[in-house]
Amino acid sequence: MSPIQKALWFVESRLAQPLTLEDVARHSGVSSFHLTRAFAAVTGYPLMKYVRGRRLSEAARELSGGAPDILSVALEAGYGSHEAFTRAFRDQFGLTPEHVRDERSCGNLTLMEPITMDSTPSIDLAQPRFVTSTPMLLAGFSARYNCASSAGIPGQWQRLGPFIGHVAEQIGDVAYGAAYNFDDDGNFDYLCGVAVKSFSDLPAEFATLRVPALAYAVFHQPGHITTIRQTCATIWSKWLPQSGREAIDAPLLERYGPEFNAVTGNGGFEIWFPVKA
């Protein structure tokens, strides 16, 4: 069982009991940092948001069955008051608990169903090479996303395209994607850009990122760019637990060499996964 499968089992078997990120991580055999990143990469949901969604979905089912006491349902779902439960329920479904109980139906709600433990995405990975990078300065376009809504990333790359090869003091003809500043709710910053010698004389709309010297496991993926999520998910859920390596809180890099065709998405790419030296 992978750490993600262990986490799903633990959550589903204790859904009506108090649960913390630390509890789930301890049962899964990895750190809270590892589990937070891995769960989001594999499932597309922040772990504790998944827990909340599952609890509220089960509460919605109880209410649609005519549960007489909303406070009891709220307490079972882990909320200390009717008011807190109502706020969370409305945020999740756009309706009040009273409405769902009165309608005796949750058919118009988007419920958070259990994730099947053997349905998490994976892909065949070649063994990585290990490198220690030199410090890098990256410059390009940056935006903040969450693991469930990163559809704007291709548009970022489209904006960057005309600048590649024309950025002051650009180094080489390689482009980089960098994911960093992750939080427990699955939010992260993503920068697409190029390496530069300095941050002087850059376009006014560019963001910058300093990447220190780090140890990386470098995975070459010859497939289409659309395999990138599966590649990252497999690194987190399979390679890392089996490797004995430890992930560190540092920018995860995508590297696109001159062989990569941005129009077709072919040519392959590399994932530079930061690990403890």
Let me know: does 143 contact 152? Beta carbons within 8 Å: yes
pLDDT bucket at 115, cuts 50 / 70 / 90: confident
Are 209 and 154 members of one domain? yes
pLDDT bucket at 120, cuts 50 / 70 / 90: low
Q: What pLDDT is recorded for position 149?
A: 72
Euclidean distance between CA atoms 253 and 65, whole angstroms: 48
Q: What pLDDT is recorded for position 202?
A: 95
Please tell me the number of Cα atoms within 13 Å of 29 on its side-chain side.
11
Euclidean distance between CA atoms 39 and 120, whole angstroms: 10
Q: What pLDDT is recorded for position 209?
A: 98
Q: Which domain holds residue 65?
A: 3-103
Are 171 and 250 members of one domain? yes
Question: What mean pLDDT value characterizes the chain?
Answer: 91
Q: What pLDDT is recorded for position 117?
A: 64
Q: How far is CA 177 from the centre of its chain?
A: 15
pLDDT (mean) for 114-140: 86
Query: Residue 117: inside a domain, yes or no?
Result: no
Euclidean distance between CA atoms 104 and 66, whole angstroms: 6
Q: What is the pTM of this model?
A: 0.84
pLDDT (mean) for 54-83: 93
Q: What pLDDT is recorded for position 24?
A: 95
* Alpha helices in the chain, H assignment, sequence order: 3-13, 21-28, 32-43, 47-64, 70-76, 82-93, 97-103, 153-160, 228-234, 240-243
Range with the lowest mean pLDDT among 116-130, 192-206, 237-251? 116-130
CATH of the domain at 59: 1.10.10.60
pLDDT (mean) for 56-80: 93
Q: How many domains does the chain have?
A: 2
Query: Residue 65: inside a domain, yes or no?
Result: yes
CATH of the domain at 266: 3.20.80.10
Query: Residue 119: inside a domain, yes or no?
Result: no
pLDDT exceeds 80 at position 16? yes
Are 91 and 165 members of one domain? no
pLDDT bucket at 44, cuts 50 / 70 / 90: confident
Are 99 and 134 members of one domain? no
With a pLDDT cut of 70, the percent of the chain lying above it is 97
Q: What pLDDT is recorded for position 102?
A: 92
Are 53 and 11 members of one domain? yes
Question: pLDDT digit string (tens) for 144-181?
Answer: 998 767 778 988 999 999 999 999 899 999 999 999 99
Long-range contacts of 7-16 (CB under 8 A, 24+ apart): 7/35, 7/39, 7/47, 8/114, 8/115, 8/117, 9/117, 11/47, 11/50, 11/51, 11/54, 12/54, 12/114, 15/51, 15/54, 15/55, 15/58, 16/76
Question: pLDDT digit string (tens) for 19-42?
Answer: 999 999 999 999 999 999 999 988
pLDDT (mean) for 88-94: 95
- Residue 273: both structure tokens together: 């996964």
Q: What pLDDT is recorded for position 198?
A: 96
